[in-house]
Structure 1
Amino acid sequence: MPKIPVIAIVDDDPSIREALDDLVLSCGYESRLFASAEAFLADADRARIDCMLVDVRMPGLTGIELQAALNAQTAPKPPMIFMTSYRDERTKAAAMDGGAFAFLGKPVDFNQLVHCLEQALRH
């Protein structure tokens, strides 16, 4: 039986986490919800994550800082799809230079997000 992909959703907004959780589940994937970058980094079961949906601006560590922390580790990193209401080019460049799979603006177009997720999981 094929493994069901596990998608980490890292966003400080509970309504966004819930909406993304519903979307991920409707695609047939499993989701893991994290209210902060720190909560994700503290998770002992991170190796099971196949892709990440990450907010850029969060209290504490930002999504870009989370990406840098993961890039500093030797463990394999799942593809990261960033989502943000703040679409400045410097942040987008930092995310993409750090290896982001995609950088999407909020409100996120769910069709575009599903397409990105499917591509990232094939990557």
Structure 2
Amino acid sequence: MPAAIIIAIIDDDQDLRESLQDLLETEGLESRLYASAEEFIGRNGHKEVDCILADVRMSGMSGIELLRVLGGKDRCPPVLIMTAYADNGMRATALRAGAAGFLAKPIDTMQLIECIRGCVG
């Protein structure tokens, strides 16, 4: 049996983290929840997951800053950025910083699953 695909969900909104976790479980995907980019980095979360789903605007480090930090690490999984502020400028900034995908909130669940499957094969 193939190993489970594990997704990190990094968002300061607990309800959103948990609802995304429930959604991913229905698709057969596991997830790890982090309330902040700092918590994710502090736990070396990038070593335990196959894909990262991170919000742009969080208290503390932003999702864009997280992308920049992760860019300097060995074996960084693909990062999908999500935001309620999904304008073309934010999209361009995220993609330039290395995001594998960009999702507008509220999250289109089919688009999210397609992005994850596209990133992790």
- Give TM-score scaled by structure 2 length: 0.94
Equivalent position of 1:76 in the other structure: 75
Output one character per residue of 1:26-51: Cα deviation in whole Å (capped at 9) or x when no partner. Answer: 11111000000000001145312100
Q: Distance in 2 between matches of 1:36 and 1:100?
A: 17
For 2:40, the aligned partner's letter is: F
Does the CA-based 8 Å contact 2:68-2:97 persist in structure 1?
yes
Task: Show structure 1 runs of 5+ residues with no match.
Answer: none
Q: 1:120 to 1:60 in 2, by over 3 A?
A: same
- Give TM-score scaled by structure 1 length: 0.93
Aligned-residue offset at 1:23: 0.9
Length, aligned pairs only: 121
Output one character per residue of 1:53-82: Cα deviation in whole Å (capped at 9) or x when no partner. Answer: 110000000000000000122x11111111
For 1:83, the aligned partner's letter is: M
Q: Distance in 1 between matches of 2:106 and 2:45?
A: 29
What percentage of aligned pairs have identical amino acids? 45
Q: Distance in 2 between matches of 1:77 and 1:44?
A: 10
1:61 aligns with 2:61: yes
Equivalent position of 1:28 in the other structure: 28
Does the CA-based 8 Å contact 2:46-2:76 persist in structure 1?
no
Equivalent position of 2:93 in the other structure: 94
Does the CA-based 8 Å contact 2:46-2:77 persist in structure 1?
no
